[in-house]
Amino acid sequence: MNNPFDFELSLSFPINRPRRMRASRSIRNAVARTRLGLDDLIAPIFIDGNINGVMEIESMPGVYRYSIDKGIRKVSDYLEQGLDKILIFGIPRYKDEVGSEAYDRDGVVQRFIRELRGTLGDRILIFTDVCMCQYTSHGHCGVISYVDDKYKIQNDKSIELMGRIALSHAEAGADFVAPSSMMDGVVYAIRRKLDEEGYVDVGIMSYSVKYASNFYAPFREAAESSPEFGDRRSYQMDPRISEEAIKEALMDIQEGADILMVKPALAYLDIIKIIRSSFGYFPLAAYNVSGEYSMVKAASKLNWIDEKKVIIEILFSIKRAGADLIITYHAPEIAQWIKEDHELFQW
């Protein structure tokens, strides 16, 4: 016993065997950390002021546009499934240069919120997208002026209108407004407007970190919101930079945001992680956008992937990166699987 380290010699190699922690379903699930539940999900919903009934969106199988009455019925179904959070997008009846249906008290979104509140009361948590691109004739997310054949987005005029849009949603009964234009100062403009008008309890979920992404294409078909000319690169962020995300999120915190958001989610998991670690004290949402949804649906139609398992793996990755909430078109099907097929969420 003169060598105090003798005991090491009796151990066989390797000493560390991580596989012990993967040996059975029970131990794997015990240490999994990342969980997915109904409370994490926000279901987007498209309400169309021009239709009577329901219309499937071709590039997003399983996702529909609803007339107001059909939308109410859909949200009641969601509640029954245990989904209690929706994010509303409107397809307006008319478009003009300044997107005025966006702040029309009788606009499609405002009427839908009012009816929803009237029918379902406080059981549903209502988030609304605050933007102008579906509502403007040119399809940009702000007011435009033209100088020498060149167009320019008028930032400060646009955020003033965003304040009016948010106010009209708050008056109708929204719980949270979600500005998605990436205009500078939009969160502050909305916060100020809401407070001035007495809506201090209406919160802001800001699309704080939103990239000029090609993954939005199916959504633009769904919402008829493609820009008529140019692109969104002068307001949405450059996918090649990550540090700017911290600046954008910090600005939104200072301007009065309640929930931050990163969008898209899947190609931007690193950004979710950065925001989570920089502002761990702030609730964080991630938007699993239309293109991410459509790619999975297309591949599974071809039988190239196991659809359910891939969807769940994607959502796990978004949660693991640090999101508290996930806005996803998969929400209704996931709610169903949670109820019917608990095993799917195990490993």
Residues with catalytic function: 210, 263
x/- letters, 166..195, toward ligand PBG (CB under 6 A)? --------------x---------------
Shortest approach of ligand PBG to residue 149 CB, angstroms?
24
CB burial string 142-154: b at 16+ within 10 A, e below: bbbeeeeeebebb
Is the Cβ–Cβ distance between 151 and 230 less than 8 Å?
A: yes
> Is residue 216 within the footprint of ligand PBG (CB under 6 A)?
yes
Is the Cβ–Cβ distance between 327 and 288 less than 8 Å?
A: yes
Q: What angle do CA 46, 51, 52 make, to 5 degrees?
A: 110
Question: What is d(CA 212, CA 225) in angstroms, rounded to the nearest whole number?
Answer: 14
> Is residue 296 within the footprint of ligand PBG (CB under 6 A)?
no
**81 vs 288, beta carbon nearer ligand PBG:** 288
Shortest approach of ligand PBG to residue 220 CB, angstroms?
6
Burial degree of 299 (CB within 10 A; 0-12, 13-18, 19+): middle
> Is residue 84 within the footprint of ligand PBG (CB under 6 A)?
no
**H or E stretch at 286:** strand 284-288
Is the Cβ–Cβ distance between 272 and 321 less than 8 Å?
A: yes
Shortest approach of ligand PBG to residue 292 CB, angstroms?
8
> Is residue 124 within the footprint of ligand PBG (CB under 6 A)?
no
Segment contacting ligand PBG by CB under 6 A, of 2-10, 129-137, 193-201, 299-307: 129-137
Dihedral sign, Cα of residue 249, residue 255, residue 260, residue 263 = negative
> Is residue 141 within the footprint of ligand PBG (CB under 6 A)?
yes
Shortest approach of ligand PBG to residue 245 CB, angstroms?
16
Burial degree of 234 (CB within 10 A; 0-12, 13-18, 19+): middle
> Is residue 219 within the footprint of ligand PBG (CB under 6 A)?
yes
x/- letters, 241..280, toward ligand PBG (CB under 6 A)? ----------------------------------------
- Report the residue number whose CB is nearest to ligand PBG: 219
Segment contacting ligand PBG by CB under 6 A, of 10-18, 27-35, 97-105, 127-135: 127-135
Q: How many other β-carbons are positioned within 10 Å of the β-carbon of residue 337?
A: 18
**56 vs 195, beta carbon nearer ligand PBG:** 56
> Is residue 289 within the footprint of ligand PBG (CB under 6 A)?
yes
> Is residue 204 within the footprint of ligand PBG (CB under 6 A)?
no
Shortest approach of ligand PBG to residue 244 CB, angstroms?
17
Token pair recorded at residue 7:
């005991």
Is the Cβ–Cβ distance between 261 and 322 less than 8 Å?
A: no
CA atoms within 13 Å, Cβ hemisphere of 201: 5
Considering only 83, 133, 143, 162, the residue that binds ligand PBG (CB under 6 A) is 133
Residues near ligand PBG, by CB under 6 A: 129, 131, 133, 141, 180, 216, 219-220, 225, 232, 289-290
